Structures are given as structure tokens and as C-alpha cells.
Amino acid sequence: MVVKLEDVHLYREGKAIVENVNWQIDKGDHWVLFGLNGSGKTAILNLLNAYYFPTKGKVTVLGMEFGKTYLGEKLRKQIGFVSNSLQEKFYPSDTPFEVVLSGAFASIGLYETPTEEMRIKAANIMEQLGTISYANRRYGTLSQGEKQRVLIARALMADPKLLILDEPTNGLDFIARELLLESIEKIAKEPLAPTIIYVTHHVEEIVPVFNKTLLLKKGQVFAAGKTSEMISNEQLTQFFELPVQVNWDNNRPSVSRLQMQV
């Protein structure tokens, strides 16, 4: 068991952000956390990273139960977290290779001297993710898609047990999006791959390695289970509250709105 949320509630300034959330993630499963803007996805991620603590309920991540175990950095060092907001925290003059190496020290910027073993590991990860060709360019010159792949490589430097990708394709064009999704699939298929949570509000980003999906709506779990059952005409019509058609092609879904008959 990697994550377990039991009857979790979260209130901020007297307002319910998350209510009655139950979610269990087992090793070997890769999940999509799917919800529209304002559904509570960010609050869930802040709970998993121990930035928030539940107002009510029980949270256990990587065997650490909130309130009974010292968390903070101890937990976050075992979680690789990649988001758009992280992109701008790195120095434009650093090279992507230096950014990736900084993941070994969990620092923004490289202030310690990496070992030769770390350098070899960083190069191997960058090769795997297709970023080695621009390893020595300035980070500030990279496209958004290139930066995202560099940050995923950085997250993998610490051998995380849990990898959280928070809407990583935001702002990417079709080609950049597909290249990034291809890289994520490669990671998930590795023998020692971390458990992955992929956060999105776009159905077409759900690639076959994500065998489980949680539908989050207005801070509550609408449904959770096998992706093939969650991303269906019936489920999404109820979820969106409008009639939709789900089409599957090469194990990838897409969704369109059905026109009402007049």
C-alpha cells in the first residue's frame, strides 16, 4: 500500500475543500487523478506531500501515518513532485544537467559537489527521457516541454517511491505533449518504477499505463476504479452532467459532447 486516505476532510477558513475522501493506491498501480478546475485536486496533492494535514480522517503515505510519524522532509524526499510552478524556480543560467543533478540533494540549484556515480546516474536518466541532447544548454533557453522532461528526470534522481505529475502537459503543443506522455510511459514500464499519480482534466492524456482512475468532483470522490470503467459514456455523462461520447483508439480515450435532439 502506497497511499491510503480514510474518510478525509479538509477545511480552510471554515470552508470544506475536501470531504469524505477514501482512496487507496497499491504498489504496481498507476493512477490518474481526474477533475475539473476547482475540484480539489491541488488540495489532495498538498495532503499527500504533507503541506496540509487533514481536518478529519486518516492519511497514510508510504507507510507514514500523519500525526503519528515525523513527516515533512522525511516524507517529501521519497516523493517526486513535478508541477508547472516548479519550472520557474530554477536559475536560467544553470544547465539541464545541473538541474537534474540537484535532485540528488533536493535543492533548487547545485551547491554541493556531485559524485561520479551521481553524474553517471543523471546522464542515464536524461538519456532515457530523451533530454541528453540539450544537457549542456542554458535551462532558460529550453521550451516548456523540454523543461518538464528535465524536471521529471530531476525527480527520478532520488529514486522516489511515489511520482506525482501535476498537469505536466499544460501549455504544450500536440507534439510536445505526446513526447512527454511517451517519456512517462517509459518510466512507468521500468522494473523498479515508482508508483505514479498523473493529475489532469484532459481525458486524451490518459495513456494505457494508467490502469486506475479517480474522478474527483467538488472535493469528493465521484468514482474510482479501473480506468476502462471510469472513462466511459455512462460515468462521464454523469460526471460532467451533460451527454458525452467516449471513443477509444489504441487504448487512448477521447471525449466529445453529444448534441441533443431537437
Instruction: Give the whole-angstrom CA distance, residue 6 versus residue 244.
Output: 31
Note the pLDDT of residue 77.
84
pLDDT above 90 as % of the chain = 78
Task: Tell me the CA distances in angstroms from 73 to 49, 51, 110, 162, 239, one per residue in order.
Answer: 9, 10, 18, 14, 36
Position 176 pLDDT exceeds 60: yes
Going from N- to C-terminal start, the domains of the chain cover 3-227
Note the pLDDT of residue 117.
96
What angle do the packed helices 116-128 and 144-156 form, to 10 degrees?
130
Note the pLDDT of residue 93.
93
Note the pLDDT of residue 89.
85
Range in 189-193, 201-205, 244-248 the model is least confident about: 189-193
Position 112 pLDDT exceeds 60: yes
Look at the block and give the residue holding cell 491541488: 42
Position 262 pLDDT exceeds 80: no
Position 163 pLDDT exceeds 80: yes
Q: Was domain 3-227 assigned CATH 3.40.50.300? A: yes
What's the whole-number average pLDDT of the chain? 92
Label residues 121-142 b or e (16+ Cβ within 10 Å = b). bbbebbeebbbbebbeeebeeb
Q: Are 167 and 199 in contact (CB under 8 A)?
A: yes
> What's the whole-model pTM score?
0.93
pLDDT tens digit string along 60-107? 999 999 887 667 677 888 999 998 888 888 989 999 999 999 998 888
Note the pLDDT of residue 119.
95
pLDDT tens digit string along 122-135? 999 999 889 999 99
Note the pLDDT of residue 261.
56
Which residue would you say has higher pLDDT here, 260 or 67?
A: 67
Note the pLDDT of residue 67.
81
pLDDT tens digit string along 216-241? 999 999 999 999 999 999 999 999 99
Position 211 pLDDT exceeds 70: yes
Position 188 pLDDT exceeds 60: yes
Position 260 pLDDT exceeds 70: no
User: What is the enclosing helix (H) or strand (E) of 193?
Assistant: none
pLDDT above 70 as % of the chain = 98
